[in-house]
Amino acid sequence: MIKRIYYLLSVFLVYQTSWILLYAQSQDSQIVFQNYDVSVLDWKLWGYRPNYWKMDFDFEKLSGKWAEYADIDFDIPGSVQMALKNASIIEDWNIGLNSKNIEWIENRHWLITSRIPDEWIPEEGKKMLLECEGLDYKGVVLVNGKEAGRFDNAFIPYTFDITENLNDNNNTIVFAFECPPNYLGQIGYTSQIRDWKPRFNYGWDWIPRIVQTGIWNNVSLTVKDKKAASLSRIQILANADKREDKGSLSIKAEPDYRALKGKVKVELTDSDGKEVFSETILASHLSIGKIWDNIPIKRWFPNGLGNQILYDLNLILFDEKGAVCQQNAYRIGFRNLQWLPTEGASVDADHWLCSVNNQSFFLQGVNWTPIRPNFADLTQMDYRKLLTSYKKMGVNAIRIWGGGFPEKDWLYNMCDEMGILIWQDFPLSSSGLENYPPEEEKTIYEISKIVEHYVIRLEHHPSLMLWCGGNELYQKGDVAPITDSHKMIAAMKKVVTSLDPTRKFVPASPSGPSLSNNPDLYGQGISWDVHGPWNLPFTQPSNYMELVKNFWTKNDAMMHSEAGVPGAMSVEMMEKYKGEYDILPADTSNPLWRNVNWWVQWNEYIAGGNNPNNLRNYVTWSQQRQSEGLSTAVKAAKQRFPSCGGFFIWMGHDSFPCMENTSIIDFEGNPKPVVEKLAKIFNNNTYLKQHENF
């Protein structure tokens, strides 16, 4: 119930595309469409062995005798895992090794069921569309037991016309989720990836295997006239003069043949509701695009450089008779963003110095991974808590990592509000054993559609600063980062360039001639955007910090999109999440530590002659190393500005209560000691104000 209340409250704060609700009289004309939020319905969950439901489930009564799990309350959005936990069928997967005990969920088919109220059913001449913004991952939608459509991609929305499936009354709707892919985890072969589902759920160096099934984003039913006009593929791009408070706005869309006879009213208002401009144009003009220049606005600035001024943009589509057929609302900001060459870079090097409104500055941020493996269950408050912590810390950018999901609208809206720029990866990632992207035409077509959706959905956000092909994608043999000569990367770049020519596209993170932060390459000018190290580059028990300082002082990379140092979470958090296991010893002989084990430093701790029976001493030792090592790295990189354009810490926050990880904020949002040191470095902007671009 609390989750549903949070969701309903958030409806008023969502700035992404929205629809006018209910029949009403507007000041212009009658509205001819109607929208229903299905989260208010009574949803139930049913679990079957694969395919058993096809022989057993009664779609009229919404019941089944063979179901292993029956009539369980379910929230939309929501995950199967959370519904089972709330029903006390499974235990909290964050405790001890409980995550291993819920892997059976993947081996079932899950039905999410409800009834469509009779009063929602459209009258003759109207159609009903089921609009799903995020389904994870594969299955079929059935209305009154008849298939209305299939889905098999967690990264794109689906719209199903269910009109022909409807009865006059007593209508039922069922989402039937099939078994997810067996394995998409961290260790494997990137060229063999064919399933478009978040990979991190299958286990990474910071999370065990917890494979979500569910409805991760909003679902609605829209009723509209069958002959109603409509706009699709709406593209909003806002820009600004780099020196003055003047903005430009570009709008492009695809009107259907009915909309071509209509008009679109474009309204821009400030945060106080004061009109900036209002104009009604022929809808046909949007098919080639319409641009407004010299709009009197206040510019948007990143965190630490100025204010985050936002505007409300409304598009109202009228048909040829003057009836309102569609309304779309956006929150936008105007800023000028350029990428300049870093100081001393060769002429052929990528540009890694970010400039907003004619002021170059150091990108200081974190890598953003999904807040939880069951991201379907997240609330707006989950995002606000973390992003507020990052803003206060002085973060001005995040990188949304390529092994996750397209993220909730809340994240992008809040980054607009807080001045946090976004580096957006597309959903491709390395696989350890082989990191070469797929090459087959079908897969390239599928990723192109995903890229298209990402760009059209997100390009109006002022916080969005660049697009990236994916995480750690390498040429064959891992000899260098992938380039846009690869067929898949070239296809992605083509879509981005066509739809959003205002933003930078990079083939992958890292990019350029070199794979990693390698001291053997310093001084050659070939360390462009690099990854690593994720640990202290030197581990000698004596004078190691002098060696660490020397490493980072000599570094000549233009951008660090990943680097970090591990640090243990607090003793109190370990006690809370250890379950039945002893915390010590803190090494891989202990199954509690072996569960997520990449960053355990116990052997180094023991080698230094430290007490193996003192947990608190180990945590203090680990957190101190993280504080010293990471603050040294970030400070050295920032002091090299404008030769170095930025530093993104790997990683920001824990998605699982790891005993030890490279995160700087733990599973419950508590900062590790390193955050205090980083905040002092991030909030010291004495380097920035000296570098204006004229």
Percentage of the chain modeled with pLDDT above 90: 91
**Residue 106 domain-assigned (yes or no):** yes
Together in a domain, 374 and 256? no
Would you say residue 313 lies in a domain?
yes
Residue 544 has pLDDT above 90, yes or no: no
Q: Per-residue b/e over 637-676, b at no fewer than 16 CB within 10 Å?
A: bbebbbbbbbbbbbbbbbbbbbbbbbbbbbbeeebbebbe
Examine the fold and report which residue of 225, 255, 272 is the final residue of a domain before the chain moves on: 225
Tell me what the mean pLDDT of segment 246-261 comes to: 97
User: Is 50 exceeded by the pLDDT of residue 7?
Assistant: no
What backbone torsions phi and psi does residue 161 show, to the nearest 5 degrees?
A: -85, 110
| Residue 485 CA: distances (Å) to CA of 31, 107, 481, 507, 591 | 49, 40, 11, 9, 44
How many domains, in total, are found in the chain? Answer: 3
Q: Is the pLDDT of residue 556 over 90?
A: yes
Confidence label for 15 from pLDDT (cuts 50, 70 and 90): very low
pLDDT at 21: 36
Please give the structure tokens belonging to residue 666.
Answer: 């733990």
**Is 26 within a domain?**
no
338 inside domain: no
Average pLDDT over residues 155-183: 98
Is the distance from CB of 14 to CB of 306 less than 8 angstroms? no
Same domain for 526 and 502, yes or no, is: yes
Asked if 191 and 175 sit in the same domain, the reply is: yes
CA 491/CA 426 separation, integer angstroms: 13
Q: What is the pLDDT of residue 676?
A: 98
The whole-angstrom separation of Cα 176 and Cα 195 is: 18
Q: How is residue 57 written in tokens?
A: 């489930």
Asked whether residue 540 carries a pLDDT value surpassing 80, the answer given is: no
Indicate whether 22 pLDDT > 70. Answer: no
Answer yes or no: is pLDDT of 499 > 70: yes
Please state the rounded mean pLDDT for residues 409-415.
Answer: 98
pLDDT, averaged across the chain: 94
Q: Inform me whether the pLDDT recorded for 319 exceeds 70.
A: yes
Give the DSSP H or E segment for 280: strand 275-282
Q: What is the pLDDT of residue 67?
A: 98
Kindly indicate the confidence band of residue 541, based on its pLDDT and cuts at 50, 70 and 90. low
The confidence band for 33, taking pLDDT boundaries of 50, 70 and 90, is: confident
**Are 199 and 281 contained in the same domain?**
no
Residue 642 φ then ψ, to 5°: -95, 20
Mean pLDDT within 437-464:
98
Instruction: For the beta carbon of residue 256, count every other beta carbon within 10 angstroms.
Output: 14
Integer angstrom CA distances of residue 402 from 154, 205, 267, 277: 14, 15, 35, 38
Q: Lowest-pLDDT range, 78-82, 161-165, 276-280, 603-607? A: 603-607
Tell me, what CATH number does 296's domain have? 2.60.40.10
For the cut 50, the answer to whether the pLDDT of residue 162 exceeds it is: yes
Weakest-pLDDT range from 93-102, 122-131, 473-482, 536-545? 536-545
- Residues 188, 298, single domain; the answer is no
pLDDT at position 558: 98
Residue 377 has pLDDT above 60, yes or no: yes
Domain carrying residue 51: 32-225
121 falls within a domain? yes
pLDDT at 538: 80
Which of 8-17, 63-72, 542-551 comes out lowest in average pLDDT? 8-17
pLDDT of residue 490: 98
- Lowest-confidence pick of 199-208, 366-375, 599-608: 599-608
Mean pLDDT of 381-395: 98
More confident position, 308 or 546: 308
Question: Is 404 a member of any domain?
Answer: yes
pLDDT one-digit tens code per residue, 258-277: 999 999 999 999 999 999 99
Confidence of residue 542 (pLDDT cuts 50, 70, 90): low
Please indicate, yes or no, whether residues 178 and 253 belong to a single structural domain of this protein: no
pLDDT band at 14; cut points 50, 70, 90: very low
Instruction: For residues 262 and 298, state if they share a domain.
Output: yes
Q: Tell me what the mean pLDDT of segment 455-464 comes to.
A: 98
Examine the domain organization and report whether 451 and 367 are in the same domain. yes
Are 289 and 368 contained in the same domain? Answer: no
CATH number at residue 577: 3.20.20.80
Domain CATH number, residue 112 = 2.60.120.260
Residue-level pLDDT at 687:
54
Q: How does DSSP classify residue 350? A: P
pLDDT of residue 451: 98
Residue-wise pLDDT for 40-60, tens only, equals 999 999 999 999 999 999 999
Residue 12 has pLDDT above 50, yes or no: no
Asked if residue 98 and residue 210 are part of one domain, the reply reads yes
The last residue of one of the domains, among 208, 225, 242, is 225
Asked if the model's pLDDT at residue 408 lies above 60, the reply is yes
Give the pLDDT confidence score for residue 35 in this predicted structure.
93
pLDDT at 11: 39
In a domain, 348, yes or no: no
Note the pLDDT of residue 29.
56
Q: In terms of domains, do 288 and 312 share one?
A: yes
43-48/69-74 β-pairing? antiparallel
* Residues forming beta bridges with residue 159, ordered by sequence position: 131
Residue at which a domain ends, from 197, 225, 253 = 225
CA dihedral in degrees (66, 68, 71, 72; nearest 10)?
-170
- pLDDT, residue 13, reads 37
Q: Are residues 242 and 217 in the same domain?
A: no
Is residue 1 in some structural domain? no
Evaluate if residue 553 carries a pLDDT over 90.
Answer: yes
What pLDDT score was predicted for residue 246? 98
Render pLDDT for 121-139 as a digit per residue (tens, 0 to 9). 999 999 999 999 999 999 9
Please, is 530 exposed, middle or buried when counting C-beta atoms within 10 Å of its C-beta (0-12, 13-18, 19+)?
buried
pLDDT band for 165, please (50, 70, 90 cuts).
very high
Share of the chain above pLDDT 70, in %: 94
